């Protein structure tokens, strides 16, 4: 019985609903940004942020475009598409890396996934891999039409679950000249097998639950959600893995955002559980950089995908010494190490823009 409860808790922690952050000052940012040293106003000659919208199959997508210091649309700049983590939104870690890379001279874009965050789509919090991958293709569609962007110098960065979906997007989308991941999370494998294979015995039971939820939706009934509960600090502290324990504090305390929630439709599990970000890795022929913390309990996912990318040109693996998965999202020394490496990597394959706001 205790083992069953533990398995349920592990599965649920990443699907918890939003809890109010005690750090209310983070919510005072006029752009809704909740990361350290975020832009609070657009200043001429500095990195600027531009909220934009566009559509994917009639669903309105909310995105932020970051332009470098002294941006001149008559020039041509390399650009980077950034995919956010599962349950995350563009104002959290994805926005942090978008801003930091813009400081290095890149035009960057980060968007809330369809059905999530400030983007449209109903029912809310559908979380299907096909949608998340299309989100990435659509960001590329939009940013390559943006003034000042050199469409032939387009990079891709995926963070956590966005990293897994970025691997899939880059397999087919050769507009991306290079791809990088940070703390990659293979959503399908974890939803199916549980973190570190902790839910193998319940696969068929959970598939039945997802199938029943889809049938109910199709009949016009209630939309069921996975782990539609609130978590306390005490509950999180009992989690056996750093990912879930630290993830609770990041998403629900220190960097909470009202649009961020790990709740997703139960029917989405039908799609998630048959997905694997690490399949067909041989299709990636672009230069590949994968970054993870040396202490990250999710590293096995990065390691698996990296070893399968046999055709990737000049692939590189960076382990940030001492970092856990979540610490790569916010801890200054780890973020700086990651951004330094990303800057070197992207400049090598995409070129550079001389109008940098500052060096890291």
Q: In what helix (H) or strand (E) does residue 140 lie, and over which residues does it extend?
A: helix 129-143
Please report the pLDDT score of residue 227 as a whole number: 74
Q: What is d(CA 32, CA 49) in angstroms, rounded to the nearest whole number? A: 11
- 231 closest CA partner among 54, 2, 18, 6: 18
Specify the CATH number of the domain 2-350. 3.40.50.1820
Please report the pLDDT score of residue 20 as a whole number: 37
Q: What is d(CA 118, CA 258) in angstroms, rounded to the nearest whole number? A: 10
CB 79 within 8 A of CB 73: no
Give 279's contacts (C-beta < 8 A, 6+ positions apart): none
What DSSP string describes 270-286?
HHHTT--TTTTGGG--S
Please report the pLDDT score of residue 313 as a whole number: 87
- For tokens 């399968």, what's the residue? 308
Q: What is the pTM of this model?
A: 0.91
Please report the pLDDT score of residue 231 as a whole number: 84
Please compute, for residue 253, the number of CA atoms within 13 A of its CA located in the half-sphere on the CB side: 10
3-state secondary structure of 170: helix
Please report the pLDDT score of residue 15 as a whole number: 35
Q: At what angle do helices 161-172 and 299-308 cross, to 10 degrees?
A: 10
3-state secondary structure 206-268: HHHHHHHHHHHHHCCCCCCEECCCCCCHHHHHCCCCHHHHHHHHHHHHHCCCCCCCCCEEHHH
User: First vs last Cα of the chain: how many Å apart?
Assistant: 51
Q: What is d(CA 166, CA 306) in angstroms, rounded to the nearest whole number? A: 13
Please report the pLDDT score of residue 66 as a whole number: 98
pLDDT in tens, 147-184: 999 999 999 999 999 999 999 999 999 999 999 999 99
Please report the pLDDT score of residue 230 as a whole number: 84
Give 220's contacts (C-beta < 8 A, 6+ positions apart): none
Which residues of the chain, if any, have pLDDT below 70?
1-27, 354-360
User: In angstroms, what CA-CA distances link 116 with 42, 59, 170?
Assistant: 26, 11, 22
Please report the pLDDT score of residue 354 as a whole number: 56
**Which residues make beta-bridge pairs with 110?**
64, 82
- For tokens 């993830």, what's the residue? 247
- Beta-strand pair 225-226/264-265: antiparallel
Please report the pLDDT score of residue 63 as a whole number: 99
Please report the pLDDT score of residue 16 as a whole number: 35
């Amino acid at each position: 019985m205790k083992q069953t409860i533990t398995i349920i808790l592990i599965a649920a922690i990443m699907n918890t609903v939003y809890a109010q952050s005690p750090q209310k000052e983070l919510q005072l940012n006029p752009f809704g940004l909740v990361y350290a040293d975020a832009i609070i106003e657009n200043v001429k000659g500095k990195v600027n942020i531009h909220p934009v919208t566009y559509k994917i199959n009639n669903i309105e997508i909310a995105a932020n475009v970051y332009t470098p210091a002294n941006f001149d649309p008559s020039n041509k700049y390399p650009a980077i598409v950034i995919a956010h983590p599962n349950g995350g939104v563009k104002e959290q870690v994805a926005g942090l890396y978008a801003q930091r890379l813009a400081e290095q001279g890149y035009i960057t874009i980060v968007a809330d996934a369809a059905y999530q965050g400030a983007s449209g789509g109903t029912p809310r919090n559908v979380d299907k891999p096909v949608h998340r991958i299309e989100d990435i293709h659509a960001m590329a569609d939009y940013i390559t039409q943006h003034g000042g962007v050199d469409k032939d110098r387009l990079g891709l960065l995926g963070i956590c679950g966005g990293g897994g979906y970025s691997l899939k997007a880059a397999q087919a989308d050769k507009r991306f000249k290079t791809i990088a991941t940070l703390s990659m999370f293979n959503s399908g494998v974890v939803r199916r097998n549980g973190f570190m294979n902790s839910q193998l015995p319940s696969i068929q039971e959970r598939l039945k639950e997802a199938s029943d939820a889809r049938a109910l939706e199709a009949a016009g009934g209630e939309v069921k959600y996975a782990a539609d509960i609130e978590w306390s600090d005490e509950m999180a502290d009992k989690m056996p893995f750093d990912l879930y324990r630290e993830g609770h504090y990041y998403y629900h305390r220190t960097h909470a955002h009202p649009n961020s929630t790990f709740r997703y439709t139960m029917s989405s599990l039908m799609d998630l559980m048959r997905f694997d970000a690490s399949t067909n890795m041989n299709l990636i022929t672009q230069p590949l950089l994968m970054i993870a913390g040396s202490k990250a309990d999710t590293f096995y996912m990065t390691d698996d995908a990296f070893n399968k990318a046999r055709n990737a040109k000049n692939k590189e693996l960076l382990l940030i010494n001492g970092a856990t998965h979540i610490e790569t999202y916010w801890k200054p020394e780890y973020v700086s190490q990651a951004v330094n490496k990303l800057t070197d990597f992207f400049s090598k394959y995409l070129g550079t823009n001389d109008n940098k706001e500052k060096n890291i």
